[in-house]
Amino acid sequence: MPNKKIPIKPLYNMVLATQEKTPATTKSGLYLVSGPQKKAGYAVVLAVGPAVISLKAGAKIIYKEYTDNQFSHDGCDYILISDDDVLAEIVG
């Protein structure tokens, strides 16, 4: 979604993001287990509400799975997450 204006503005403490696939291997080549035990999701932040001060658009995050609101708008898939459900920002 780069270089495209986001038509949705999150309110208060909400984070608008697009989901990324969970990596299958680590950088060193170790395979990661997938399946029902998966408890966190990966996403890229597209926009944040005015009360969110710790994240900016473009940040890669790990969030609590099953706490997001998934929806589509104009052919694009989005997720809306409370900033309380963001577990970490991936840096580096």
16-49 pLDDT per residue, tens:
999 876 666 667 777 666 655 555 788 999 999 9
The residue among 19 and 57 whose pLDDT is bigger is 57
Is residue 58 over pLDDT 60?
A: yes
Domains of the chain: 14-21+39-90 (2.30.33.40)
45 contacts 58 by C-beta, under 8 angstroms: yes
Residue 5's pLDDT is: 81
Q: With bands split at pLDDT 50, 70 and 90, how would you rate the model's confidence at 7?
A: confident
Residue 65's pLDDT is: 78
* Nearest in space to 17 (alpha carbons), one of 35, 27, 91, 52: 52
